[in-house]
Amino acid sequence: MIHFPEILRRLKRGPQVMLPKDIGMVLGFTGVGRKSLVVDAGAGSGWLAVALGNACKKVVSYERRDDFAALAEENVKRAGLQRYVKIKRKDVFEGIEEKEVDLVTLDLADSEKVLPHAKAALKEGGMVVGYLPHAEQVQRFVKVLNEEKFRDVFCVECIVREMLVREAGFRPDTTGLWHTAYLVFAKK
Protein backbone atom coordinates (compact mmCIF):
# COMPACT_ATOMS: atom_id res chain seq x y z
CA MET A 1 0.00 0.00 0.00
CA ILE A 2 1.39 3.41 -0.96
CA HIS A 3 1.03 6.08 1.71
CA PHE A 4 0.71 9.66 0.48
CA PRO A 5 0.95 12.81 2.58
CA GLU A 6 -2.29 14.78 2.87
CA ILE A 7 -1.14 17.48 0.44
CA LEU A 8 -0.72 14.90 -2.35
CA ARG A 9 -3.93 12.99 -1.53
CA ARG A 10 -5.90 16.12 -2.50
CA LEU A 11 -4.46 16.14 -6.02
CA LYS A 12 -5.77 14.57 -9.22
CA ARG A 13 -3.59 12.30 -11.31
CA GLY A 14 -3.25 12.60 -15.06
CA PRO A 15 0.12 11.84 -16.58
CA GLN A 16 2.57 9.79 -14.51
CA VAL A 17 3.42 11.48 -11.22
CA MET A 18 6.58 11.54 -9.14
CA LEU A 19 5.87 9.64 -5.93
CA PRO A 20 6.81 10.61 -2.36
CA LYS A 21 9.76 8.20 -2.24
CA ASP A 22 11.44 10.03 -5.14
CA ILE A 23 10.29 13.50 -4.07
CA GLY A 24 11.94 12.88 -0.69
CA MET A 25 15.20 11.99 -2.40
CA VAL A 26 15.08 15.23 -4.42
CA LEU A 27 14.44 17.32 -1.31
CA GLY A 28 16.99 15.44 0.76
CA PHE A 29 19.90 15.37 -1.68
CA THR A 30 19.49 18.93 -3.00
CA GLY A 31 18.86 20.66 0.32
CA VAL A 32 16.35 23.12 -1.13
CA GLY A 33 14.18 24.99 1.35
CA ARG A 34 12.30 28.18 2.18
CA LYS A 35 14.81 30.48 0.44
CA SER A 36 15.10 28.39 -2.75
CA LEU A 37 14.03 29.25 -6.28
CA VAL A 38 13.23 26.12 -8.29
CA VAL A 39 12.48 25.48 -11.95
CA ASP A 40 10.61 22.26 -12.65
CA ALA A 41 10.21 21.07 -16.23
CA GLY A 42 7.62 18.61 -17.36
CA ALA A 43 4.91 19.70 -14.90
CA GLY A 44 2.61 16.85 -15.87
CA SER A 45 0.04 16.58 -13.07
CA GLY A 46 2.03 19.03 -10.95
CA TRP A 47 2.78 16.69 -8.06
CA LEU A 48 6.49 17.49 -7.87
CA ALA A 49 5.80 21.23 -8.29
CA VAL A 50 3.31 21.09 -5.40
CA ALA A 51 5.72 19.16 -3.15
CA LEU A 52 8.53 21.59 -3.97
CA GLY A 53 6.21 24.58 -3.49
CA ASN A 54 5.32 23.28 -0.05
CA ALA A 55 9.02 23.46 0.89
CA CYS A 56 10.50 26.26 -1.24
CA LYS A 57 10.15 30.00 -1.74
CA LYS A 58 9.15 29.84 -5.42
CA VAL A 59 8.63 27.11 -8.03
CA VAL A 60 8.17 27.77 -11.73
CA SER A 61 7.02 24.64 -13.53
CA TYR A 62 7.27 24.53 -17.34
CA GLU A 63 4.66 22.55 -19.28
CA ARG A 64 4.18 22.66 -23.05
CA ARG A 65 0.95 20.64 -23.19
CA ASP A 66 -2.16 22.70 -22.39
CA ASP A 67 -4.10 19.72 -20.98
CA PHE A 68 -1.28 18.85 -18.56
CA ALA A 69 -0.77 22.51 -17.63
CA ALA A 70 -4.49 22.90 -16.84
CA LEU A 71 -4.41 19.85 -14.55
CA ALA A 72 -1.21 21.06 -12.85
CA GLU A 73 -2.76 24.51 -12.29
CA GLU A 74 -5.86 22.86 -10.80
CA ASN A 75 -3.67 20.79 -8.49
CA VAL A 76 -1.70 23.84 -7.35
CA LYS A 77 -5.04 25.45 -6.41
CA ARG A 78 -6.20 22.27 -4.62
CA ALA A 79 -3.00 22.43 -2.56
CA GLY A 80 -3.46 26.16 -1.86
CA LEU A 81 0.02 26.96 -3.16
CA GLN A 82 -0.73 29.55 -5.89
CA ARG A 83 1.51 32.03 -4.04
CA TYR A 84 4.50 29.65 -4.32
CA VAL A 85 3.96 27.68 -7.55
CA LYS A 86 3.49 29.05 -11.07
CA ILE A 87 2.73 26.76 -13.99
CA LYS A 88 4.35 28.30 -17.06
CA ARG A 89 2.84 27.23 -20.40
CA LYS A 90 6.09 27.20 -22.30
CA ASP A 91 8.35 24.66 -23.97
CA VAL A 92 11.46 24.33 -21.79
CA PHE A 93 13.40 23.09 -24.85
CA GLU A 94 13.26 26.72 -26.05
CA GLY A 95 14.98 27.98 -22.91
CA ILE A 96 14.57 28.82 -19.23
CA GLU A 97 13.83 32.46 -18.45
CA GLU A 98 14.63 32.34 -14.72
CA LYS A 99 18.19 33.04 -13.55
CA GLU A 100 20.16 32.36 -10.35
CA VAL A 101 18.05 29.26 -9.74
CA ASP A 102 18.88 26.91 -6.87
CA LEU A 103 17.45 23.76 -8.48
CA VAL A 104 16.23 22.62 -11.90
CA THR A 105 14.25 19.36 -12.02
CA LEU A 106 13.77 17.64 -15.38
CA ASP A 107 11.06 15.01 -15.78
CA LEU A 108 10.45 14.76 -19.50
CA ALA A 109 11.58 12.77 -22.52
CA ASP A 110 14.92 13.85 -24.02
CA SER A 111 15.66 15.90 -20.89
CA GLU A 112 19.39 15.85 -21.66
CA LYS A 113 18.63 18.38 -24.42
CA VAL A 114 17.52 20.88 -21.74
CA LEU A 115 20.78 20.66 -19.76
CA PRO A 116 22.47 23.65 -21.50
CA HIS A 117 19.42 25.78 -20.58
CA ALA A 118 19.47 24.41 -17.03
CA LYS A 119 23.14 25.31 -16.67
CA ALA A 120 22.47 28.87 -17.86
CA ALA A 121 19.61 29.24 -15.37
CA LEU A 122 21.40 27.80 -12.34
CA LYS A 123 23.45 29.85 -9.93
CA GLU A 124 26.95 28.60 -9.14
CA GLY A 125 26.52 25.58 -6.86
CA GLY A 126 22.90 25.11 -7.95
CA MET A 127 21.74 21.60 -8.77
CA VAL A 128 19.98 19.82 -11.58
CA VAL A 129 18.04 16.57 -11.12
CA GLY A 130 16.91 14.27 -13.90
CA TYR A 131 14.02 11.85 -13.29
CA LEU A 132 14.77 9.10 -15.80
CA PRO A 133 12.83 5.82 -16.07
CA HIS A 134 15.35 3.97 -18.29
CA ALA A 135 19.06 3.25 -17.96
CA GLU A 136 19.69 4.41 -21.54
CA GLN A 137 18.24 7.81 -20.61
CA VAL A 138 20.61 7.97 -17.65
CA GLN A 139 23.57 7.31 -19.94
CA ARG A 140 22.57 10.09 -22.36
CA PHE A 141 21.84 12.50 -19.47
CA VAL A 142 25.19 11.88 -17.76
CA LYS A 143 27.06 12.19 -21.06
CA VAL A 144 25.63 15.69 -21.58
CA LEU A 145 26.20 16.61 -17.91
CA ASN A 146 29.88 15.79 -18.43
CA GLU A 147 30.02 17.71 -21.72
CA GLU A 148 28.46 20.73 -19.97
CA LYS A 149 31.04 20.45 -17.16
CA PHE A 150 28.58 19.75 -14.33
CA ARG A 151 30.26 18.28 -11.24
CA ASP A 152 29.46 15.92 -8.39
CA VAL A 153 27.31 13.74 -10.67
CA PHE A 154 25.62 10.76 -9.04
CA CYS A 155 22.68 8.47 -9.73
CA VAL A 156 20.35 6.71 -7.28
CA GLU A 157 17.33 4.46 -7.40
CA CYS A 158 14.92 4.48 -4.47
CA ILE A 159 13.00 1.30 -3.71
CA VAL A 160 10.46 1.15 -0.90
CA ARG A 161 9.56 -2.13 0.76
CA GLU A 162 6.96 -2.02 3.51
CA MET A 163 7.15 -4.35 6.48
CA LEU A 164 4.33 -6.37 7.96
CA VAL A 165 4.34 -5.87 11.71
CA ARG A 166 2.04 -8.38 13.37
CA GLU A 167 1.85 -10.21 16.64
CA ALA A 168 2.64 -13.43 14.77
CA GLY A 169 5.86 -11.99 13.37
CA PHE A 170 7.65 -9.26 11.51
CA ARG A 171 8.65 -9.65 7.85
CA PRO A 172 8.78 -7.80 4.54
CA ASP A 173 5.45 -7.41 2.78
CA THR A 174 5.21 -9.41 -0.45
CA THR A 175 4.33 -6.27 -2.39
CA GLY A 176 6.29 -3.08 -2.74
CA LEU A 177 6.96 0.01 -4.74
CA TRP A 178 10.01 -0.92 -6.70
CA HIS A 179 11.47 0.92 -9.68
CA THR A 180 9.85 4.18 -10.75
CA ALA A 181 12.89 5.98 -12.16
CA TYR A 182 16.54 6.72 -11.65
CA LEU A 183 17.40 10.09 -10.15
CA VAL A 184 20.55 11.75 -11.49
CA PHE A 185 21.93 14.68 -9.49
CA ALA A 186 24.61 17.16 -10.55
CA LYS A 187 25.96 20.52 -9.44
CA LYS A 188 26.90 23.56 -11.52
Asked if the structure places residue 27 within a domain, the reply is: yes
**Cβ contacts of 16 within 8 Å, gap of 6 or more:** 44, 45
| Rounded average pLDDT over 62-85 | 97
Report the number of distinct structural domains present in the chain: 1
Asked if the structure places residue 1 within a domain, the reply is: no
40: containing domain? 6-187
Asked if the structure places residue 123 within a domain, the reply is: yes
Residue 76 has pLDDT above 80, yes or no: yes
| 112 or 2: which leads in pLDDT | 112
26 and 183 in contact (C-beta within 8 Å)?
yes
Asked if the structure places residue 42 within a domain, the reply is: yes
How does pLDDT run across 85-131, given as a tens digit for each residue?
Answer: 999 999 999 999 999 999 999 999 999 999 999 999 999 999 999 99
| Strand, helix or coil for residue 24 | helix
Residue type at position 93: F
- Where residue 170 sits, what CATH number does that domain have? 3.40.50.150
**Cβ contacts of 80 within 8 Å, gap of 6 or more:** none
Prediction pTM value? 0.92
Asked if the structure places residue 30 within a domain, the reply is: yes
Residue type at position 88: K
